[in-house]
Amino acid sequence: MAFSKKDAVEIIVAFAVAWVFYQVLAVLTGTGMPLVSVVSDSMLHASSYDEWWNSKGEYYSGIGISKNDFAEFPAAGGLECGDLLFVVKDAAPETGDIVIYSKPGTGYTIVHRVVGINDDGYILKGDNNAAPDPLVRRSQVLGKMVFAMPLLGAPRLVLYYIEGFVTGRPLNLGGTCSLVRL
C-alpha cells in the first residue's frame, strides 16, 4: 500500500490541529505549558502512602506538615513517570500545591511540591527526594498542576529517548524514570 498525497495532507492537518489546540489551551490556562509530562521519579511514591510517610515523613513533620495535612494535598499519593499534568497559571500557589518551574541554565522544567513560602519565593521538594530544591523565585514558576492523567505523558518520554539515541546524547534529567516500567 503506497503512501498517497491524501495521507500526507491528513498528517499535516492532524499536526496543525494539535498545534492550534495546544496554543488555544495555553491562552485559556494562562501558561505556555498547559500540558506537562512527568519525566523523573522525584514525585514517585513507590509504596503505600503509610509506607511512604514512614520513610519520608520526618522531613515534612520537621517543617510543620503533618501526615494528615499531607494527605489533603493534591496528588498526595505522588506522581509517576509518564503522567500527563494539566497546568494553569496561578499567581499564588499554596503549600502542598504541585508546581512546574524552570530550572535556570538547564532548559528543563521541574515538577515539585510547594513545602514552604517566604518573601523571596518558594521552597519546593520532590516527594521522593531527600532534600528541598534551592529557593525558587516566583518568576520561575510556570504554573500549578490541576490534575494528572496517568501514562498519557509517556509519548513525550519516548520522544526524549529517541532524541537521545539520534543525537548520541542519552536522556539525563537526574533520577530519570525508566521506559521499562511504562
Per-residue pLDDT at 103: 86
Per-residue pLDDT at 137: 95
The mean pLDDT of the chain is 87
Enter the CATH code of domain 37-167: 2.10.109
Per-residue pLDDT at 172: 53
Per-residue pLDDT at 98: 97
CA trace torsion 129, 133, 137, 143 (10° rounding): -20
Q: What's the pLDDT tens digit per position in 68-94?
A: 999 999 999 999 888 999 999 987 899
Q: Report the C-alpha gap between 35 and 12 in whole angstroms.
A: 21
Which residues of the chain fall short of a pLDDT of 50? 174, 179-182
pTM score: 0.84
